[in-house]
Structure formats: structure tokens, C-alpha cells
Amino acid sequence: MTGTEMPGSAQDFAKAFLILTRSAADLRKAINPIMEAVDRRRARKAAANLDTLRFRSGEMRQPLERIARGGGTAADRALLSAMLKASAEKVEGSIEALRTYEDEVREKFGMESVSKLDDIIFDKIEIRQRLRDLTNDEDYLYQATDKASEVSAMIDRLNDSLISIHDMILPPKATPKTASRKKRK
């Protein structure tokens, strides 16, 4: 301290503020990668829950498509019923987990994206109800071919929506080849 400075002066305050500001910036630099990793982990979990809602070919879709073509049997309906029961807990858990992620979707991507997520959840529940009706409801069985075709089309739309929101929430990581091309541009 020189003879013209007083302890607790504006100059001391300015120096302390500058040190504090630099420390805060350093802290942000240190914490940002951690926060990004936490966000990415939550996004991966949400994406995994979205993937749980997807209808894969080779699973429920095979007996459903046989029914839609008019070749479905009682065994196909029983298989669908068993698959619905077996997947119910996992699907319900994924739906609940996605509902807890809605605030983050709204904050990061906007209200329209939350609405799309709600639509996906509603559509999944609706499709599962229609599949249950197709396997259990006698009135539905008389129109099984038409109803199965409708459900199959609903599944296609749901899967397209799932892909869209999945890739929004968890964009694919750039491969080293892709990343190097971006740097050159």
C-alpha cells in the first residue's frame, strides 16, 4: 500500500471485486463441464425412456400386422395381450420419468416441445388401450382387421414423433470425422 491509499478505500474494493469476479469466472469454467455432463446424463435417461415407448418391429408389430392383414389368430391376440402385460410396468415407469423431465424440456426447448412430449405420452397410452381392446373386446374382434390397421398407422406416427423428440433432447454426438469437417468450414 502506498501512502495515498486508505484501508477500505474504493481502490481496495475495486481490487477485491476484480479478484472475486475472476474467481467466479474460474469457478464457472470449472463447473460448466460438470453441469453439462449432468445435463447430458439426464438427457440420456429421458432419451432411454422415450426409446422404451417405441414400438419395435419384431415385437408387438408382428402379430398386429397379421391381424391387420386378416390372418390374425387367437394365438396372435393372446401374444399381444401377454406382451402388453409384460411391458406395462416398464412403460408406466418411463411415462412417469418423462413427466418429471417436462420442466427441463420446456426450459431448454420451449412449450411446443412439452406439448409434443405430452402428445407422445397420450398416444402411447391410447395405442396400448386399443391393443388391449383388440385382444379382449368382442365388439372390437368383429372389426379386427380395420382396427389393427388403424393401430398400426398410429404406431408409425408415434415412432416418428419419438425419433424427432429423442434427437432434439439428445442430439447425436458428432463423430471425429464430422467434427473435423465442421472445424474446416
The per-residue pLDDT for range 81-132, each reduced to its tens digit, is 999 999 999 999 999 999 999 999 999 999 999 999 999 999 999 999 999 9
Length of the chain: 185
Residue 59 and residue 45: Cα distance in Å, rounded? Answer: 23
| Helices and strands, number each (H, E), in the chain | 8, 0
What is the maximal distance between C-alpha atoms in the chain?
A: 100
- pLDDT tens across 46-82, in order? 999 999 999 988 789 999 998 888 888 888 889 999 9
Kindly report the pTM of this predicted structure: 0.74
Task: Please tell me the distance from the alpha carbon of residue 118 to that of residue 125, in angstroms, as a whole number.
Answer: 11
Look at residue 19 and give its three-state secondary structure: helix
- The span from the CA of 139 to the CA of 127, in Å, is 17
22-172 placed in CATH 1.10.540: no
